[in-house]
Structures are given as structure tokens and as C-alpha cells.
Amino acid sequence: MPRDTGLGPVAGRVAVLNARYRHHSATAVLEHALKDADLGRVALVSSFGAESVVLLHLVSVIAPETPVIFIDTRMLFEETLTYQRQLADRLPLCDVRTIRANPNRLNFEDPDGTLHQFNTDACCNIRKVEPLERALRGFDGWITGRKRYQNADRGTIDFFENEGDFRIKVNPLAHWGREDLEEYIVENRLPRHPLVAKGYPSIGCAPCTSAVKPGEDPRAGRWRGSAKTECGIHFIDGKAVRTPKENAA
């Protein structure tokens, strides 16, 4: 059931926000939108992956009190866990939260840790989707690092999306390219995820992530050899959230 926020219908607020900030920069979207009454209370959800440091740094500068949610699936690369601790210590973020799967659900559905071998969707649901949904209760929206350039499925995302008419998804870096990210990391002397140098431009759980060859889609190493392209946290009722542009097509 949609949460009664007193803020009005989500779809209408998304349309207003996209019109209001259409010509703004990522920094301006964060600076103003985080204080915009039409957005409400938001959290940043971060994988602490290959490009995460850019958005984490921006939020630490603009609104360090913003809650930051990190999903530890218990199947992440050790490099990711080390990097997460490093960034959490280095950046002036006030509220970093690590969330995990319900142990009872995990013991029942995946007692031997092999669920990912025959049902990746079910594994992602238990380890990522369900914990995140619990963590986002009480929030009116959440900030993501999704960008248009990452793959065709993300090619039309806007700054703001309607997530199932109950929450708003904010994508401040939607229009940034790889060159923009690289420039920001260099200029601000930010530490990189150690796996990037080893050919991992997109990093998820260790069993389902492989290195990417030059010229491949940046997310080609995620669930390689399958039709799966998303873990499910950006889905509503099993489908990718449709953007305003897609709805108008």
C-alpha cells in the first residue's frame, strides 16, 4: 500500500520536479532537490562500487547528514567491503547504514549459499531487494547513481522517476558520461575501487560479476551469459521502472 506522506500523488510530484530541475546540473539537483518539499525525506543508496565515490562525495559536501544505505549481500568482493570501510571513514558522511538479508529468510531459502547458481532473481530478491525495501520504509524517495550511458535499458532515465506511485527515485548523475566521472574523481583526488584497474567497470556480487573486455558494455560483466541486466532494486512488480519519456511514447 502507498504510504500516506501528505505530499500529494507521486507521479504529479515527479513531473513537477523534472520540469523544475530539467536544466540544472547534478550539483544543483542535489543542493536544491534535497531541500524541496515536493521530494520529501530521502536516503542515498550506494553499492560502494566502481563509480560510487562520485555521488558519495557530492552528498558528503552538499548534505552530509543524508542517510546512506549500503547493502551487504554477504557475497560481495572483499575489495568492495574494504573500499566501503575506507570511504565511510574518509568522507564526512554522518549516517552510513549497512543492511543485510533477514537471516531466517536466508537460512530457509539459501542455506548453502548456492541459490545464485540456479535462480539469480531469487537470490537478488532475498539479499538485496527485500533488505532495501525494509530500509527505505519511512523515506519518500531515494538517490541512485544510475546514468544513461551505462546501457540501453537506462538510456532515457530522468533526474526524477516515479517508483510505483509510492516513492520517488532521484538520479542526479543521469546525464553524466564516463569522462565526467573520471574528471570529477581526478580533480577531487578520490580513491578508486581497486577492481576498476582489473577490468571491472561495474561491480556487484563476486559470483555474478566478471571482468569486461575493451569495447564491451560497461555492465557486460554482470550476470554474464544470461538475459538478466538488473538485480531488481530498480524494478516494480518485476518490471523496470518506466520513465516519463517511455510513458509518453
As annotated, the active-site residues are: 231
Amino acid (one-letter) located at 44: L
Strands (E), the chain: 42-45, 68-71, 96-99, 141-143, 160-163, 167-170, 235-236, 239-240
Tell me, letter by letter, the H, E, C secondary structure of 3-49: CCCCCCCHHHHHHHHHHHHCCCCHHHHHHHHCCCCCCCCEEEECCCC
Please tell me the total number of residues recorded for the chain in this structure.
249
Cα atoms found within 13 Å of the Cα of residue 89, Cβ hemisphere only: 7
161: three-class secondary structure by DSSP: strand
* Torsion angle of C-alpha atoms 169, 172, 176, 178, degrees rounded to 10: -80
Half-sphere exposure of 76 (CA within 13 A, CB side): 24
| φ, ψ for residue 143, nearest 5 deg | -95, 135
Which amino acid is residue 243, in one-letter code? T
Q: State the amino acid at position 62 in one-letter form.
A: I
- CA distance linking residue 14 with residue 20, whole number of Å: 10
